[in-house]
Structure 1
Amino acid sequence: MQRQYSYRSLLQIPGLFPLILAAILARLAGRMFILTLVLFVLEHFSSPSLAGWLTFGAIVPGLIASPAAGVLLDRMGPTIAVRIDLIASAAFIAAISFAGWVGYFSPPLLFILVMLFSMTGPLGAAGTRTLLPRLVPPGALGRANALDTAVYAIVDVVGPAMAGVIVAWFGPEIAMSMIAAAYSGAAICLCRVQCLPGLASTNTPFLRQTVEGIQMVARHPTLRGLAVSYSLYEITWGVLNVAVPVFVAGRCATGCSSVTGLLWAAMGIAGGVGALFAGHMRITGRERSVMAAGMVATAFAAWPVAAEFGFGGLILGLTLAGVVSGPISVAVLTLRQRRTEPQQLGRVMSISMSLNTAGFPLGSAIAGTAISGSLSSSFVLAGIASVVAAAATLFIPAD
């Protein structure tokens, strides 16, 4: 019989507590950086267009580089790869802060620094979730993923709020310095995690392994199914990202931004609670059922609950969608880890995590078009996307 781990006993596994602490600091820094970058550019250049393009430069190069980052994870080992990302991120952001202090910066320099920052990002993002299944026993993996997902959901809320407060009180240069310090702290925490070696062969050419990683995700029935299903589910969140502020603006005379922010914060906290609850469930072997049930619940939360029952319905619907998002994320992560060979996990995690985000911008674009006709129809589309995502889980092979 497998040992049952509580969250307290889970953190006693060697290396897991410093890894979680490093992940908290790194993810907090990453969430703070995007908003701080926008505020930094607006203060120094007064250009929303430049802020938008720099945000693009801070995200998209990393998505493009994710297949190569996955190869590095598998070849050099996740511990070293994550450490490289943390140290590089601290250095690039410290350089932005320094440039702001001394006044020697320009848009081309900022583009170079944020693109370099973006390109190492997949090493850290996928590396943490590549380390988890190698640090914890199989019986503890579901709960470890639940803890990791809960941390991610809560930091997703706290990060932008912290960035806004620090920039308002101390200025964007101080905020950038604190972000660099957080990355440095994460790198120090990672020193307490055992250095796990790479499992992939170093004799195979790098480019060939990069192509093999893409082929693995495309040809593996489970990985392909997860990519399709979760991307469809993310369309729902992309639609809600546009529809919710419009809904709030139509019902609030003042303070629309604050109300929207509070709604997203509540939803993020609900997601963290849902993920922790999922850690107490027996998810292993039941991942597809958990995903499908959560996606159907999300569809119901989007329409009719959020759309047709006024402001109270919106709050209830978003809370429900937030709660079930936790178990969905835990189930997706656990199933992907279980059905991937250890020597391929870095490539699979890096590529899959990038593919998972594809649905979000598509959903936002669809919502932007649909809302012009009817706000309610955008919530209907959000619900349909989650229903189709739930149906797509049926094509993922069972154990």
Structure 2
Amino acid sequence: MASTSLGPAYHRLWLATALSNLGDGIRMAALPLLAAALSRDPVVVAGVALAGQSPWLLFGLFAGAVVDRYDQRRLTVLVDATRVLLLAVLVTALALDVANIVLVYAVAFMCGVGETLRDTATATLLPPLVKDADLDRANGGLVNAEVAGNELVGPPIGGYLFGVAMVLPFALNGSTLALAAALIFSLPNVFAAKPVPAGEKRRIWAETGAGLRWLVRHRRLRALVALGGLFALMDSAWFPIFVLYVGQVLALPGWGYGMLLGVGAVGGLAGGFLAARVTRRIGTAAALAGCLLCAAAGQLMLALTTSVPVAAVGLGATSAAFGVWTVAARTLRQRLTPPELLGRVSSASMTIVMSAGPVGALAGGFVAAEWGLTAPILIGVPVLAVGALVCYLTLRTQE
């Protein structure tokens, strides 16, 4: 049967997501380059990444309560417009040659705060725009737009434009965000928060706690969020040292690292594209469990080989598994969560995944230093295999 159109509103949301994530990818590549141009201190340059990622750890859980409280469409437009103004300040400072590292940190941090709100709001914008039966296909398109912008297209453009002129990547980022805001504003007005009776609206932290308690009591969603964090933890334990693996285990020069990153990005896009077909054919529980098994198999291939083609297949398999997981987990979360709690449940899931990155990277670095570069890759194999069994047994009920 031919696929039906997801509708003009969805296509506007998709384009807004693509533009926003393209701008994010451009900015994430250009900000460290700008920091390096302003300071030769490695700690100062590395701090830019910390400034951009720390808002998830500081405010990620509270972002969901904010999103659930307000009109998600208007909130998204406000966040994008604010980030446009921040980037305009940075562009002006660069043009006047008065930019400094404090401004770079401030822009990275505030844009990161905006991302916590926007990414959480985006997860709540989709369900009212498409039929429930089309959620998996629609999420697949959004995930691919995110991966392509953040990982495949945005960073090379950001690096190239910075080499041409420092202001160009930040000016383009501001332009993409402005267009994204206009597209979000054009969506149907179906996102207004439900009115809360006088005296029942609580503080943000209390609403956050209420959402977390509901999530903890929901057996399937609790398992889904925990397994998503486990998946991210095992992946982040080896990926930050992958550049060393490529040079020392595969004996490839610098271009080989870039080539394999491209293989990983293509694998992620393939996973996002195929996710709806996979889940419809074998069911969500089997698909999610299969993702963990596929990732385990891919990591086993990486850990036991010195062959570049075998390593490429292993990397592609893990990336594709992550792509399918992202789509299937997001769709299940949207279907199982009441609309008034979706922001809080989504932000809890994303915060756990984002927090797993630095924890996994730190642990993986220590493991690699003690037992070798393949050790953190190999450790994930049994962990993911057990996780697959738990996933299937926990999520197969009520399918």
Give, as a single letter, the amino acid of the residue that structure 1 aligns with 2:314.
G
Aligned equivalent of 1:367: 364
User: Residues of 2 paired with 1:244 and 1:253: CA distance?
Assistant: 12
Question: What does 1:191-230 correspond to in 2, within 5 Å?
Answer: 191-195=185-189, 196-199=191-194, 201=196, 203=198, 204-207=201-204, 208-230=206-228
- State which drifts further: 110-119 or 336-345: 110-119
User: Residues of 2 paired with 1:73 and 1:223: CA distance?
Assistant: 19
Aligned equivalent of 1:380: 378
Cα distance change of structure 1 residues 380 and 14 upon mapping to structure 2, 3 Å threshold: same
Note if contact 1:272-1:326 (Cα within 8 Å) is conserved in structure 2: yes
User: Residues of 1 paired with 2:284 and 2:14: CA distance?
Assistant: 23
Cα distance change of structure 1 residues 81 and 300 upon mapping to structure 2, 3 Å threshold: same
Cα distance change of structure 1 residues 200 and 217 upon mapping to structure 2, 3 Å threshold: farther
User: Residues of 1 paired with 2:250 and 2:161: CA distance?
Assistant: 27
Of the three residues 134, 145, 151, the one matched with 2:145 is 151
The secondary structure found in structure 2 opposite 1:375 is coil
The secondary structure found in structure 1 opposite 2:277 is coil
The secondary structure found in structure 2 opposite 1:279 is helix
Note if contact 2:55-2:116 (Cα within 8 Å) is conserved in structure 1: no
Question: What does 1:61-210 correspond to in 2, within 5 Å?
Answer: 61-155=55-149, 156-168=151-163, 170-195=164-189, 196-199=191-194, 201=196, 203=198, 204-207=201-204, 208-210=206-208
Cα shift readout 1:100-140 (whole Å, capped 9, x = no counterpart): 22133333333333322222222211111211111101111
Q: Is residue 395 of structure 1 aligned with residue 376 of structure 2?
A: no
The percentage of counterpart residues that share the same residue type is 21
User: Residues of 2 paired with 1:148 and 1:269: CA distance?
Assistant: 15
Aligned equivalent of 2:350: 353
Shift in Å, 1:285:
9.1
Cα distance change of structure 1 residues 68 and 369 upon mapping to structure 2, 3 Å threshold: closer
- State which drifts further: 270-279 or 205-214: 205-214
Aligned equivalent of 2:334: 337
Cα distance change of structure 1 residues 305 and 71 upon mapping to structure 2, 3 Å threshold: closer
Question: What does 1:229-268 correspond to in 2, within 5 Å?
Answer: 229-250=227-248, 255-256=253-254, 258-268=255-265
The secondary structure found in structure 2 opposite 1:198 is coil
User: Residues of 1 paired with 2:195 and 2:234: CA distance?
Assistant: 36
Shift in Å, 1:289:
1.4
User: Residues of 2 paired with 1:376 and 1:50: CA distance?
Assistant: 30
User: Residues of 1 paired with 2:175 and 2:383: CA distance?
Assistant: 40
Aligned equivalent of 2:268: 271
Cα distance change of structure 1 residues 183 and 202 upon mapping to structure 2, 3 Å threshold: farther
User: Residues of 2 paired with 1:42 and 1:261: CA distance?
Assistant: 21
Aligned equivalent of 1:313: 310
User: Residues of 2 paired with 1:47 and 1:354: CA distance?
Assistant: 30
User: Residues of 2 paired with 1:348 and 1:47: CA distance?
Assistant: 39
CA RMSD of aligned residues (A): 2.2
Aligned equivalent of 2:5: 9
Give, as a single letter, the amino acid of the residue that structure 2 aligns with 1:374.
G
- State which drifts further: 261-270 or 33-42: 261-270
Shift in Å, 1:397:
6.8
Cα distance change of structure 1 residues 131 and 383 upon mapping to structure 2, 3 Å threshold: same
Of the three residues 313, 324, 339, the one matched with 1:327 is 324
The secondary structure found in structure 2 opposite 1:304 is helix
Name stretches of at least 5 consecutive residues in structure 2 with no aligned partner.
none
Cα shift readout 1:81-102 (whole Å, capped 9, x = no counterpart): 1111211111112212222221
The secondary structure found in structure 2 opposite 1:259 is helix
Aligned equivalent of 1:19: 13
- State which drifts further: 20-29 or 356-365: 356-365
Of the three residues 49, 54, 63, the one matched with 1:60 is 54
The secondary structure found in structure 1 opposite 2:148 is helix
Cα shift readout 1:161-214 (whole Å, capped 9, x = no counterpart): 11111112x222211111111111111121221122113637412332122223
Cα distance change of structure 1 residues 183 and 284 upon mapping to structure 2, 3 Å threshold: farther
Aligned equivalent of 1:304: 301
User: Residues of 1 paired with 2:303 and 2:22: CA distance?
Assistant: 29
Shift in Å, 1:5:
7.0
- State which drifts further: 292-301 or 272-281: 272-281
Shift in Å, 1:273:
1.4
Give, as a single letter, the amino acid of the residue that structure 1 aligns with 2:10.
L
Note if contact 2:269-2:320 (Cα within 8 Å) is conserved in structure 1: yes
Give, as a single letter, the amino acid of the residue that structure 1 aligns with 2:275.
A
Aligned length: 391
Cα distance change of structure 1 residues 97 and 298 upon mapping to structure 2, 3 Å threshold: same
Cα distance change of structure 1 residues 100 and 335 upon mapping to structure 2, 3 Å threshold: same
- State which drifts further: 287-296 or 302-311: 302-311
- State which drifts further: 214-223 or 87-96: 214-223
